Amino acid sequence: MLTDKGLWLPDKLNHKGIFTLELWRGKRLIKKARAENGITTEGKNHLLDVVFHGTAAVATWYIGLIDNSGFSSLLVGDTLASHTGWTEIVPGTGYTGNRQAWVEGAASGGSITSSSTATFPMLATYTVNGAFLCSVASGSTGTLITTGSFDNTIDVVSGDNLKVNYTISY
């Protein structure tokens, strides 16, 4: 960016991500929510390692859901193996299948967004607090890159579908 004096001022690199959620009960849209995400230290290190250190990129990222039960905080030091302020809604128990793949489109204008919606067919009653993005479909050994708490909690029952999109911008 040039100033009025012709001096170059560098743009700042700010990671901004937004999870958007829709709760569908049958064919009826019940509620919408959004969560601005925070990036974990592990996520920052992964981005730096891939871009500047030659570490292999992750081919597929996955979206998971955060349970409101016992929720206290999302911390920059959270990892998939250790996140004491929250618990995950367990794939296969809380919803059908594993964490849902984030199918991203190509970057454009400094942003990448979902090219298709991740759908979670719910199997039980929960209050959903937020979402996260990680490098594995199940388990706790992958990279937790971002977490976000929705602006409103979402009460779901068995048979509901949660539809989640994610956009990341710099």
Q: Tell me: pLDDT of 10 over 90.
A: no
**Model confidence at 67, in pLDDT bands (50, 70, 90)?**
very high
Q: What is the pLDDT of residue 7?
A: 63
Given a cut of 50, is residue 2 above it in pLDDT? no
Residue 10 is classified by DSSP as P
**Domain locations in the chain as residue ranges:** 17-169
CB 114 within 8 A of CB 17: no
Residue 40 dihedral angles phi and psi, to the nearest 5°: -80, 160
Tokens coding 36? 């601005």
Provide the β-strand partners of residue 139: none
CA angle 42–23–166, rounded 5-degree value:
30
168 and 149 Cβ atoms separated by less than 8 Å: no
Reading phi first (left if > 0) and then psi (alpha if -120 to 50, else beta), residue 33 is in beta
CA–CA distances in Å: residue 67 to residues 2, 94, 159, 168: 46, 10, 17, 23
**Residues 114-162 pLDDT 10s:** 999 999 999 999 999 999 999 999 999 999 999 999 999 999 999 999 9
Rg (CA), the chain: 17
pLDDT tens string 79-123: 999 999 999 999 999 999 999 999 998 999 889 999 999 999 999
Cβ pair 43, 146 in contact under 8 A: yes
The stretch 45-68 carries a mean pLDDT of 94
Q: For residue range 37-51, what is the model confidence (pLDDT) as tens digits? A: 989 999 999 999 999
How big is the CA angle at 85 (ends 31 and 145), to the nearest 5 degrees?
75
